[in-house]
Amino acid sequence: MGIFLVETYPNNFLFIDTRTVEDFEQSTIPNAINITSDEVSNYIDFIKNEEKYAIHFDRR
């Protein structure tokens, strides 16, 4: 589903990979950003300012 959304609507979604940095570096959805679960609350303003639908995921 994530790949479909990235390819179909590349500017409408902010994919947030909440896995560890190590897992993120191994593989993720194209253009996803890595904000670990423990850090999400620190990035609420950033996420709101993106003006995109935010989709977070933690496992494939």
Condensed to tens digits (0 to 9), the pLDDT of residues 1-50 reads: 667 877 887 789 999 999 999 999 999 988 899 999 999 999 999 999 99
Q: What is the pLDDT of residue 11?
A: 84
Residues 6+ apart with CB under 8 A from 54: 13, 14, 16, 47
Rounded to whole angstroms, how far apart are CA atoms 16 and 36?
9
Q: Does residue 52 have a pLDDT over 60? A: yes
Q: What is the pLDDT of residue 1?
A: 63
Q: What is the pTM of this model?
A: 0.83
Q: Does residue 60 have a pLDDT over 60? A: no
Rounded to whole angstroms, how far apart are CA atoms 3 and 38?
25
